[in-house]
Amino acid sequence: LKEDTELNGKTPTLLYGYGGFEISLGPKYIASSGIAWLERGGAYVEACIRGGGEFGPSWHQAALKEKRNKAYEDFIAVAENLIDSGVCTSKTLAARGGSNGGLLMGNMYTMAPHLFGAIHCAVPLLDMKRFHTLLAGASWMAEYGDPDTDDWDKYLYKYSPFHNIDADVERYPPMLVTTSTRDDRVHPAHARKMVAKLWDLSDADADGTDKKKKKDWPVYYYENIEGGHGGAANAKQSAFMTTLAYDFMMKTLKKNAEEMP
């Protein structure tokens, strides 16, 4: 954060995470985050959760398959610490992640909706029952498990966001879901199906019959028709996608902060 940014609970705070495939996050300068978030008075946080490679192979192995919940518990713990320490509140905390991090975001949406004021879920895996049948998904079973075996009943369904949307929840945080038509790694069907299901359920009551009772589930969707897994085909498109995400989160959190006492 910038030196003059005041951490008073109303600070727009962005929590980023990945937590998979032994990929490490670490200290670095991200120009887009600096310009689009820090220069606008926000605080930026990266969560080095289990599943990543920050502390070696054992850190990755600690969140494989049936232990995947550890990655999500770690991210929730970081979010709770930011709130408890007064850096932000749940209304001024956003979460962002893509690909495997998009699966993380989907699980934050279904597991801990009370902790976040906004979520950006990018090029995500969300249907863990069918991920292995789409594009490169079969190559990820060593990370997640095999849904065609008893892995599904034992643990996989527990972190399949598409299957864990709770129709009885009155409010989910505002979420932006972005994907690419030509993503050759994570099929855009994950994002499409999740958003369609959320839109359908938000317009109905718990049993899907009363269309007059609309829930407070703001969900926004953008699918770029070009680009691969990165979601953009050139620098112009990349800049647009980045701006779209940061503007959505910043405007949502600032609006929430204005409504706070």
Whether 143 has a pLDDT exceeding 80, the answer reads yes
CA distance 190 to 121: 11
Does the pLDDT at position 152 exceed 60? Answer: yes
Question: What confidence category does residue 205 fall into, taking pLDDT thresholds of 50, 70 and 90?
Answer: low
228 has a pLDDT exceeding 90: no
Contact 159, 69 (CB under 8 A): yes
- At residue 253, the pLDDT reads 98
Lowest mean pLDDT among 20-34, 110-124, 142-156: 20-34
Task: Determine which helix (DSSP H) or strand (DSSP E) holds 219, and give its type and residue range.
Answer: strand 219-224
Q: Which amino acid is at 156?
A: L
Residue 207: band (very low, low, confident or very high) from pLDDT cuts 50, 70, 90: low
Q: What is the reported pTM?
A: 0.94
216 forms bridges with which residues in the sheet? 171
Residue 123 CB partners (closer than 8 Å, separation 6+): 98, 99, 102, 178, 179, 180, 183, 185, 186, 191, 229, 230, 231
Q: How confident is the model at residue 209 (pLDDT cuts 50, 70, 90)?
A: low
Q: Does residue 194 contact residue 106 with C-beta atoms inside 8 Å?
A: yes
* 120 catalytically annotated: no
- Show Cβ contacts of residue 133 under 8 Å, excluding neighbours closer than 6 positions: none
Is the pLDDT at 128 greater than 90? The verdict is: yes
* Number of Cα atoms under 13 Å in the Cβ half of residue 91: 11
- How confident is the model at residue 2, as a pLDDT? 86
pLDDT of amino acid 188: 96
Pairing outcome for strands 93-98 and 118-122: parallel
How many CB atoms are closer than 10 A to CB 169? 16
Q: DSSP alpha helices (H): ranges in the chain?
A: 31-36, 57-61, 69-84, 100-111, 141-144, 151-154, 189-202, 235-258
Mean pLDDT taken over the chain: 94
Instruction: Based on the residue annotation, tell me whether 229 is a catalytic residue of this protein.
Output: yes
pLDDT category, 4, cuts 50, 70, 90? confident
pLDDT score recorded for residue 146? 98
d(CA 178, CA 69): 24
Q: Does the CA dihedral 166-200-149-57 come out positive or negative?
A: negative
| Structure confidence at residue 233 as a pLDDT band (50, 70, 90) | confident
Tell me the pLDDT tens digit for each residue of 63-121: 999 999 999 999 999 999 999 999 999 999 999 999 999 999 999 999 999 999 999 99
Q: Active-site residue among 33, 99, 160, 202?
A: 99
**Sequential DSSP letters for 91-119:** GGEEEEEETHHHHHHHHHHHH-GGG-SEE
* Residue of 58, 120, 160, 229 marked catalytic: 229
Q: What percentage of residues in the chain have a pLDDT greater than 90?
A: 85
